[in-house]
Amino acid sequence: MVEIPDDIRGYLKQFQKYHFWLLALLMPLILVPLAFTADAQLLREIDTRSSAVKAKVESINSVPRKTAEGLEEFGHPQPEWAEQISQSNDALRKTILSQWKYLWDQQKPIRVWPVELRSDFLRAVIRLKPDEDLSTRFRDRYLNTIHRIVKKIPERIDATESMDSSASDGGFGRGDFGMSDGSDDDSVDRTVLWDSMDQSELYQSFFWTTTPSTKQILLAQEELWAYAILCDVVVKANNQSSGYHDATIPYISRLAVGYRAAEEDPGGRKGGRIKTLSSGFDEYMDMGMDMDMDGEMGKPLNPRFGSSGQGDMGMEYDEFTGMPMDSDSGDDDEALLNWIYVDSEGKPLDSATVNESPDTKFVHYIPFCLKGKVDQRKLDLLLRSFATMPVPIDVRQVRINPDAMDSMSGDEGMMGGMMSGQDSTDGVRRYDLDVELRGSIALSQRPNGKTLGLETDTQN
């Protein structure tokens, strides 16, 4: 340990006693020069950076004054550059419009209005402009004709029509669980059995009791075209079959498009894509409390489908026919757009999004659901039928045994078990598998150059 001499000890005691005041005097003498030095260095850095920025700006401003020797034939980047870019963009827009017209013309055979509406109606609707309305007599004619047109859908897939009977008795008038037993009709001679309860639900969505608006007619006809496309897929898949016994898809429990097929969580986007029975009955019941029979939650109201997925909320029924009555609210036309279209990923769109989205001006993605029995040996044939249709169809989901959780309760699960039991006993349909296909059908909209920013108007 170092010893401090006695003659210094007094000074140290004085320093310890007054060290605060001594340091207070010394610190400014040290810090002030350092501050001025740092400030000067910062100013020099700012000047250096500022000079570099000014040099870059001057370099850019000097471009118009320079000449490109030997490259005159390519044109000077300014001022012709902006004009060339504009011309390039216009050329791209015209190319897109050309492809848009090609898709529109390719789908022309699909956009066929029913001949039952007669030629004057067809002429009026073809000449109809976006902001115009059909006359009342034409809308009344559609009202009185549409139900007969819808009844022809089962015939298109070689199935027995059972829409009226199922509507009057709740779907249980043609055999157990809405299926025809073949004893009182020609179902035994048909290639496809289509659940009458599903037929009834489809029929009720087109059974109107008040004169529809022009928008309601146009949207309903677009939906019918989508149904026709799905029916053509079924026919194409069953084309190599000679009857029910060897059909690719012999039984359909659900055939739906638009609002009836839309899901809040398409393809398990929010998780839960795989469900097992190990979770138990209690978890299944808790899940069922928050979901409707199709596993859908939170569907917005659509006037045409008030009795589908809405729990009959706010619906009135005709006392003679028992069919849902249409509302005459002024907001119905906008609400008709709720959840009838989806985006490219399958997410349903509400009416506000449909009106604002630029994508819906080009194409309408209509969701679909095809559910039933499929010969597992021909599942690839069914998928190939979807892929080879002239209309773009995106099959996003292939669900195997979708009603496994429903086997504990529910009519649809019981019906699936009954069909499986029949297959295992008669030895004919032993390879049938419960399959549910979901996706979207892309229907082109009328080409319009103004939508693309061109001066060209709509061309047909």
pLDDT computed for residue 309 by the predictor? 38
pLDDT 10s digits, 293-349: 444 457 888 888 864 433 343 345 454 444 445 444 445 788 999 999 999 888 999
Regarding pTM above 0.85, the answer is no
pLDDT computed for residue 327 by the predictor? 44
Burial class (CB in 10 A: 0-12, 13-18, 19+), 446: middle
Using pLDDT thresholds of 50, 70 and 90, give the confidence band for residue 188. low
Burial class (CB in 10 A: 0-12, 13-18, 19+), 51: exposed
pLDDT 10s digits, 221-243: 999 999 999 999 999 999 989 99
Cα 344 from chain centroid (whole Å): 6
Burial class (CB in 10 A: 0-12, 13-18, 19+), 454: middle
Spell out the alpha helix ranges (H) of 163-271.
163-169, 196-206, 214-237
The closest of 358, 382, 367, 357 to 435, measured between CA atoms, is 382
The closest of 355, 368, 433 to 394, measured between CA atoms, is 368
Residues 6+ apart with CB under 8 A from 63: 77, 78
- Strands, E, within 376-422: which ranges? 393-400
- In sequence order, the β-bridge partners of residue 371 are 254, 436
Tokens 């029913």 -> residue: 114
